[in-house]
Structure 1
Amino acid sequence: MKKHLIKVVLSCAVVMGSFSSCKNSSSSKNVSRATGWKINAKEGGFQYNSDFKEQETPPGTVFVEGGTFTKGKVQDDIMHDWNNTPTQQHVQSFYMDETEVTNVMYLEYLDYLKEVYPPDNPNYANIYKGALPDTLVWRNRLGFNETMTNNYLRHPAYAEYPVVGVNWVQATQYAEWRTDRVNEVMLEREGYLAEDAKYKVLNGDIDGTFSTEAYLNNPESVYGGEIDSLQGKQKRDSINSFAKRSSGVIMPAYRLPTETEWEYAAQALVGTREYNNYRGRKKYPWEGDYTRNGQRVGRGDQLANFKQGKGDYGGIAGWSDDGADITGEVKSYKPNDFGLYDMAGNVNEWVADVYRPIVDDEISDFNYYRGNVFMKKAIGEDGKVEILEDKIVYDTLPNGKIVAINLPGEIKEVPVTEQETYLRTNFDKSDNRGFRDGDPGSSRFFSRFSDEDDNQKMYDSPEHSVERNEEGDLVRQYDESNYRTSLINNEVRVYKGGSWRDRAYWLDPAQRRYLPQYMATDDIGFRCAMSRVGSKSRSKKTVRHKKAR
C-alpha cells in the first residue's frame, strides 16, 4: 500500500512538473534572454511579435524556394553572341506572381488612381495619364489591328489576358502601388486600421492616402494626418497603436523580379532534382527538348503560346496548335514545377536588371542583380523624415511621356552621399548600375582621349532629349547622329521569356533581350515578385529513407 502511494505521489509530481515546464516554456518567449525583463508587458517596455511563425504567401503569388543553379545558356549558342554565358549562381527564396499581371489587375490600379487623383484636377492630370498603357502598340503600318487597339485593355473578353503596352517605369510604379494596397489590408485584418479606412479614401471622405514607408516612419502623416480617426478597434487603446516592422504585419515590397530570380523560377529545376543533384538540364520550363506535349493526354498540343513559323501564330483553324493568335488567357497551359504559369511564351516579361552582355559573377554569385541605386530617406529641419504632402515628383521620359515617380504622402528619397559610404568596402556611391562595366573606374571609353566630359562613358548610345520651352510646351530633340555605336546605357532593361510574336528559340529561360525602359510593345508584360524574410524553406527537411517504426 505504501509503495502504491509513493508511485501515485511521484506520478503526480511528474505531471505537475511537466505542466510547470510547459508553462515556463510557453511564457519564456515573452521574457528577455538578455535582461530577464518582460517582453510585451502591458505596463510598457520592449514590444515585439514573439508569436511570429513565418511569412505568409502574399496575394497572387507562389513560393519559390531558393537554391543554386547554372544561370545562362546551357544549350548551343547558335547566334554566337556570347550573351549570358553560363555562371553558377545562388538565389534566396522569394515569392512570384503565379501569372503575368492581367488587364483586370492593371485596370484596378487605374481605377484607384482615377478615384483618388481625379484627372480633371490640373494638379493630378498627369498621374492617371502617365499610368495608362500605350494601346497604340497594336498598330502596324501594314496590318489591321484596330480591334485590339480599342478593346484589348478594357473589354471583359480580354480581362484575364496579360496587360501589354506597359513600359518598365510604369511596371515598377504598379508594384509600389500594390505594396501599399496589400499592406492596408494586412493592417486592417490585424486591427491596426478600421475596416472602412481604404474606402473612405476612395470615396473622398479623407484627403490623403496610405504609403507603407510613410506609415512606418511617420504614421501620423498618412491619410492626410487623419489616421487617429481610422484606428482599428483592437489597437485603439493598446500600447502598439501603430504597427512597426517588428510587429511582423507589414509585408516586404512588391517589385519586379531580378533576372536571376526570373530565370531560376522559369527553369524550375526542382522538378528534375534527385537527392542533391539535378537530372540533366532543361531547354524550356518543362521537361524535354520539344514544344509539343508528349503525354498520352493532349499529345501533340503546344505547351506554350508562341509563333510556330512565318505567318503561323496559332495554327490551322479548327485544329489550333496553341489556342491563341495574339496573347492568350493566363493559365491556359500547365504551370511549371514551381506552380508558375506562362514562364515561356504568351508575353515577354520585364525584369529589374539593367542590361549588360556579360554577367559579372566574379564580383557576385549571390542574388546577382545589376541596377542598384542606393537611396536614403530625406530628413527635414525638424529631424523627421520629409513627407511629400502636397508635392508630386514627375519624370519626363525621353519619348515625352510624363510619369509620376512620387505621389502625395510618400517619403522623399535622396541618393546616399560620400559621408555614408566613407571607408566602406561593399559600396562607395549611390548609382551602381555601371559598376565594373561602364563606370569611369573600370572602363575603356569609346572616346578615350576626348577632353569633353560628355564623352567619358563606355557606351556611345543615342542621346535623345526632352525639354520645356518658355511657354511650357515639350520640345523633343531626336538624336540624329549616324555615328552611334551602341544602344546600351543605364536606362536599358532586360526582358525575357518569349512571346506570341517569337519563335521557339526565345522560349529558353536563359535567352535575354533588352529595350529602353521608357518603351512599350504589344508583346512585353510583367509579373511581380516579393522577397522572403526568414527561413529559406517553409517546411523542415526530413531524413531520407527513414525507416518506419
Structure 2
Amino acid sequence: MIVALTTSVVSCNKSKDYKDNSRATGWRLDGKDGSLKYQTDYKGQETGPGLVFVEGGTFTMGRVQDDVMHDWNNSPTQQHVQSFYMDETEVTNRMYLQYLDWLKLTFPPTEKKYTNIYKGALPDTLVWRNRLGYNETMTNNYLRHPAYQNYPVVGVNWIQATEFSKWRTDRVNELNLEEKGYIGENARYAADANTTFNTETYINAPTKVYGGNDSLSKGRNSERLVELIGKDKKDSTHSFIQRKDGVLLPAYRLPTEAEWEYAALGLSGIREYNQYRGRKKYPWDGQYTRQGGRRKRGDQLANFKQGNGDYGGIAGWSDDGADITAEIKSYPPNDFGLYDMAGNVAEWVADVYRPIIDDEFNDFNYYRGNVFTKNAISKDGTVKLVTSDSIVFDTLSNGSIVARSLPGEIVQEAVTEKDTYLRTQFTDSDNRDFRDGDKASSRYYGQSTTNERMYNSPQHQVNAIIDSTGTSKGLDRQYDTNSDRTTLIDNEVRVFKGGSWRDRAYWLDPAQRRYFPQDMATDYIGFRNAMSRVGSKSQKGKRARD
C-alpha cells in the first residue's frame, strides 16, 4: 500500500508539473534558476478594447441580390476567412479626437518640425460643404461638438485611417503592459516626442523604447517583474515582455474586403449543420429594410437614403431617426453583434481596388495590397529608429502632407532580390498590382510599347518649391489634363464597402463594392478596425448540439 501510494503521488506530481517542463528536453520552462521562460498556461487571445469576435469560415464573396449595372466586379467566388476580431461600431468622433489630442500633446504643432504631423491627421471638415446647400453647421461642429461625439468620424482618408490604426495598437499595448506591471506606472503620460512607445520597437529593441529611458521601459520592479526576472536581478533575460509571452495584442488594422463582407453578412444566423439556409440580401434576415416584428414593425433597420429628397422619412413614426449620420448603436446589430454594417457611413477596407477577385490564385484570406517591408538594420546590428529629426513626410496627390512614420518607430525598407532568392510565394516588395496591372500582366506585355499601363489613370504631380537657400516656399500642383484618360483605377485607389446615409438601399448589400482615391475623403466614408485572431479558430471549441 505504501509503495502504491508513493507511486500515485509521484505520478500526480509529474502530471502537475508536465506543462512546465519541455516535451523535447525535460527542462524547466518557468524561467526560474536561470532556466528558459515560456508561456505554459496561455489561456487564449484577449479581446481588445472595442472589438467583438468573428469566427471565420467559408462563404461566397461577391454574390449580390441586385445587379442593375450588370457589372463584372461582383463575380461570385468562394473564399475562406480566418477568425478575427472587428470593431463593434464604426470609429467615432470621440475616438478619433483622442488620437488628435495625443498627437497635439506629444508633437506640439507650434514646433515647425512637428506641424505637419498634427495637420496631416486632421479630418477634412470641408467635405460637408455643398454649393447649393447650407451645411456649415456640420462643417463647424460635426467633428468636435459633444452632440456628435458618438457619431462615426468622416472626412478621413484611407491613409489617415491606417495611421489611426497604428496609433491605436501602440496605445492599447502600452496600457496593457502598464496595467500588468511590465512598464513604468503612467509611462504613457511621461513620454514626449522623443520617448514614445511603439509595439514593434518594444519587441525588437526593448532597451530603445521610450527613447532608452530605462525607468519607463523596465517599470517599477513590481512583483510581476520579480516573477519574470527571478530573484537574481543580474539576469535580465526576462526583463522585457516578448512575443512568446502572449501579452501583446496583434495590430489593429483596417479589415480586408473579404473580412468585412464576411462579417457584414453574419451568415452564422442562417447556418444549419454544414450549409447555409438560403441567402441574405442585407446584414439582417429578410428581403426588406424595415422591421417585421410585432413590437417594432415598420421601423427602419439602417440609416440610408430612401429616395430623392428623402434622407430620413416623414417626421414621426416612420422616420428612421437620422438625416445625416446616426449615433452608433441606433439600429440592431447583425448576428455577429456588429452595428451599422449597412448604412450610416460606408467604410474603408484595406484592399487596393481591382474589377475582379483573383480566386484562381488565392482563395484563403484574400487581400490585394501587400507591400512587404523589413526592419532597417544599422551597421552595429541594431534596428534603426525614426527620430524627431529624421521624420519623413509624404506629399499626397491633393497636396496634403502626412508623416510616413513617427519617432520611436522602426525604419522600414523594401525587401530585395536577395531577401526573396529561391522563394516560391513572393519575389517583390510591392504586390499591389500582382497579376493585374503590372508589366507582365498588362495587355501591352511583349509589345514595343512596354511602358504602357493597363490602367491609364490620371497622374497628378505635386512638387515642393525650394528656393536657393533650401527653404520650402509651398507646393506646385499640376493637374493631369490629358483627355485620353479612361479610368481612375490605379494602385492608389482603395475599396470601400457598405451603403451610407447618402446611398439608396441598393448599396446596403454587403457584396457591393466601390472605390475611392486613398488620399481623398468624403462626408459618407468612415471606417472601423479589425484584429487578427492568433491560435484556435473558435473561442469555445465545438459543442454538442442540443
**TM-score under structure 1 normalisation?**
0.94
Deviation at 1:191, TM superposition (A): 1.5
1:98 matched to 2:93? The reply is: no
Deviations 1:392-448 (A, max 9, x none): 121110000011120011100001100111121111111111011001122213995
C-alpha change, 1:446 and 1:166, in structure 2 (3 Å) is farther
Which digits, 9 at most, give the CA deviation of each residue in 1:354-389, with x for residues without a partner?
Answer: 000100000000000000011011111111111112
Q: 2:458 aligns with which of 440, 446, 462?
A: 462
- Counterpart of 1:474 in 2: which secondary structure? strand
Matches within 5 A, 1:341-360: 341-360=339-358
State the partner residue of 1:384: 382
Q: Match for 2:97 among 77, 82, 107? A: 107
Say whether 1:222 aligns with 2:209: yes
Specify the alignment match of 2:232 in structure 1: none
Which residue does 1:409 correspond to in 2?
A: 408
Q: Which runs of 5+ in 2 are unaligned?
A: 230-235
1:492–1:517 Cα contact (<8 Å) kept: yes
Letter of the 1:129 counterpart: K
Is the contact made by 1:446 and 1:457 (CA closer than 8 Å) also made in structure 2? Answer: no
Q: Does 1:400 align with 2:394?
A: no
1:433-481 Cα deviation digits (max 9, x unpaired)? 1011001122213995437x3xx32100000011012232211110111
Question: Would the aligned equivalents of 1:235 and 1:241 in 2 still touch at CA under 8 Å?
Answer: no
1:503-542 to structure 2, matched below 5 A, reads 503-542=504-543
- Tell me what 1:3 maps to: none
**Amino acid in the other structure paired with 2:289:** T
- Pick from 195, 200, 209: which aligns with 2:196? 209
CA contact (8 A) 2:194 2:387 kept: no
Letter in 1 for 2:55: E
Deviation at 1:44, TM superposition (A): 1.8
Q: Aligned partners of 2:439 and 2:145: how far apart in 1?
A: 50
What secondary structure is seen at the aligned counterpart in 1 of 2:79? strand
Matches within 5 A, 1:127-526: 127-201=117-191, 207-230=194-217, 231-232=219-220, 233-234=222-223, 236-237=225-226, 238=229, 239=236, 240-390=238-388, 391-445=390-444, 449-450=448-449, 453=451, 456-471=452-467, 472=472, 473-526=474-527
Does the C-alpha gap of structure 1 residues 280 and 197 become closer, same or farther in structure 2, counting only changes over 3 Å? Answer: same
What code does the residue aligned with 1:394 have? F
The 2-side partners of 1:67 and 1:506 are apart by 24
1:484: Cα distance to partner?
A: 0.3
The 8 Å contact of residues 446 and 459 in structure 1, kept in 2 or not, is answered as no
Determine the structure 2 residue equivalent to 1:5. none
Residues 446, 458 of structure 1: 8 Å contact kept: no
Contact kept in structure 1, 2:169 and 2:199, CA below 8 Å: yes
SS of residue paired to 2:428: coil
Structure 1 unaligned segments of length 5 or more: list them.
1-8
After TM superposition, the structure 1 = structure 2 runs for residues 37-76 of structure 1, keeping only pairs within 5 Å, are 37-76=27-66
The offset of 1:189, in angstroms, is: 2.1
> What's the TM-score, normalizing by structure 2?
0.94
The Cα of 1:24 is off from its aligned counterpart by 1.8
Once the two structures are TM-superposed, the CA of residue 84 in structure 1 deviates from its matched residue by 1.9
The change in CA–CA distance for 1:224 and 1:235 in structure 2 (over 3 A counts) is farther
8 Å Cα contact 1:192-1:234 kept in structure 2:
no
TM-align CA RMSD:
1.7
Greater alpha carbon shift after TM alignment, 258-267 vs 381-390: 381-390
Query: For 1:84-118, what per-residue CA distance to the aligned partner results, in whole angstroms no more than 9, with x for missing partners?
Result: 21000000000000000000000000010000000
1:223 counterpart SS class? helix
- Aligned residue pairs, count: 529
- AA aligned to 1:426 is Q
Deviation at 1:77, TM superposition (A): 2.1
Poorly superposed stretches of 4+, deviation over 6 Å: none
* CA distance, structure 1, for counterparts of residue 10 and residue 140 of structure 2: 71
Offset at 1:41?
3.3
Identity of aligned residues (%): 66
